[in-house]
Amino acid sequence: MEVTPLAIPLRQEFHWAGGRQLGANLVLFAVHTDDGVVGYGESICEEPRAVAAHGEAMARQFVGRSPGDVEAILRSIWTEGRWKTFPQFTQFVLSGMEAACWDAFGRAHDLPTRAFLGGAVHDELDFFGFLQGDDPATLAAHARELPDHEVIYLKIGRPRDDEACIAAVREVIGPDRLLRVDPNEAWDAATAIDRIRRLARYDLDWVEQPVPGDDVAGLAHVRRSVAAKIAADQAVYTTAQLRTVLEREAADVIVTGPHDAGGLLRFRQQASLCAAWGLRVNLHAFMQSDLSFFAHAQVASTIPNLTNGNQTMHQLLAESLTTTPAPLTNGRYRLNDLPGNGFELDENAVDQAHERWQRDGAYNTIESVRA
């Protein structure tokens, strides 16, 4: 297992309830097999050194196994008590290592990863139009550039006029397209209820994680109190957390992904759990490169209860880590037939991103403020 920290700048500042970000911090994992096959996966993070150190410590559980023995590898890691003490962080680390195993296994068998996860039920995936900006005029201008996206999405929950931003966007996109907003845990339950009710006139499709992720009771209270659908995101990192949200009927839709769940397989399993409760799943993304976009598209294509308007952020990064095109045509992506996770690595881009991290260190969130 080879571990490489990376730093990649964004095309422009990214604004959300947590502050402003200028770049993405990533860790690339490379799985080398005895047959000379190499598979690649990527973990997102705040501090690459922490993820790299934990990845190197867990790597011994992968050595000597087939990269296709994903369930057995995961079970061996989770039976070690020390990793259970911080499951959320462990899952973020594992996500890249597990994706690298699937990539290697698919390449070794000359088949796309989705063939080992049940097969595709979607040939195309739909992604939202992700508006960038921090004021009504900028957001409205970006919305005009996305006339064919079925779903429009913007971050809210910062100390500015959210309503003015939402009003400007709704005016541009008209009444028929779906508008989703994400306060990123910015409010308590009472504030969330008040603000979501005030925003009802803009016909929001759903509001994503309006309260802190550990406040499931508050999330359920908000859901019972407003007309808009409520999506759970930071409340459902682990399968145990997801079960609690489902049992308490705290959400109308579940937003999660391989980085959150601890890999492609666990994400697939969590989606099946949601299906048993009659809920749909929206693919989550945060500051990942196109390498993760391709990997996550593999598993998303196998999920029957997947929503439209799924999430990706690879288009916000100024550099790609693959030489494989990732075209989003009006928000839609058609899967390719390449083996493994569906990409070819750009080794020069990886070297450049690693050298940047060695020279400048990790990107930090700046002006971290809440409404």
Average pLDDT over residues 194-204: 97
Average pLDDT over residues 167-191: 97
Q: Give the 3-state DSSP-derived string for 275-317, with helices as H, strands as E and coil as C.
A: HHCCCEEEECCCCCCHHHHHHHHHHHCCCCCECCCECCCHHHE
Residue-averaged pLDDT of the chain: 95
Band of pLDDT at residue 273, cut at 50, 70 and 90:
very high
Average pLDDT over residues 101-114: 99
167, pLDDT greater than 70: yes
Q: Which fold has domain 115-334?
A: TIM Barrel (3.20.20)
Q: Determine the pLDDT at residue 368.
A: 46
Burial class of residue 119 (count of CB atoms within 10 Å of its CB; 0-12, 13-18, 19+)? exposed
User: What is the per-residue pLDDT across 251-261, written as a single tens digit (0 to 9) for each?
Assistant: 999 999 999 99
Q: Determine the pLDDT at residue 159.
A: 62
Considering the entire predicted model, what is its pTM?
A: 0.95
Distance CA 222, CA 203 (A): 17
245, pLDDT greater than 80: yes
Each domain of the chain, given as residue ranges in start order, spans 2-111+346-360, 115-334
Q: Determine the pLDDT at residue 370.
A: 38
Q: Determine the pLDDT at residue 84.
A: 80
Q: Determine the pLDDT at residue 230.
A: 99
180, pLDDT greater than 90: yes
Q: Determine the pLDDT at residue 82.
A: 77
Q: Determine the pLDDT at residue 161.
A: 85
367, pLDDT greater than 60: no
Backbone angles phi, psi at 151, to 5 degrees: -125, 135
Band of pLDDT at residue 369, cut at 50, 70 and 90:
very low
CATH number of 2-111+346-360: 3.30.390.10
Q: Determine the pLDDT at residue 254.
A: 99
- Looking at the chain, the number of H-run helices and the number of E-run strands are 13, 12
Band of pLDDT at residue 364, cut at 50, 70 and 90:
confident
Average pLDDT over residues 147-175: 93
* Cα 49–Cα 88–Cα 67 angle in degrees, nearest 5: 75
Handedness of CA 231, 234, 237, 239 (dihedral sign): negative
Backbone angles phi, psi at 329, to 5 degrees: -95, 110
Band of pLDDT at residue 327, cut at 50, 70 and 90:
confident
Helices 189-198/216-225 angle, 10° precision: 30
Percent of the residues in the chain that have a pLDDT greater than 70, as a whole number:
97
10 or 329: which leads in pLDDT = 10
Length of the chain: 371
Q: Determine the pLDDT at residue 81.
A: 62
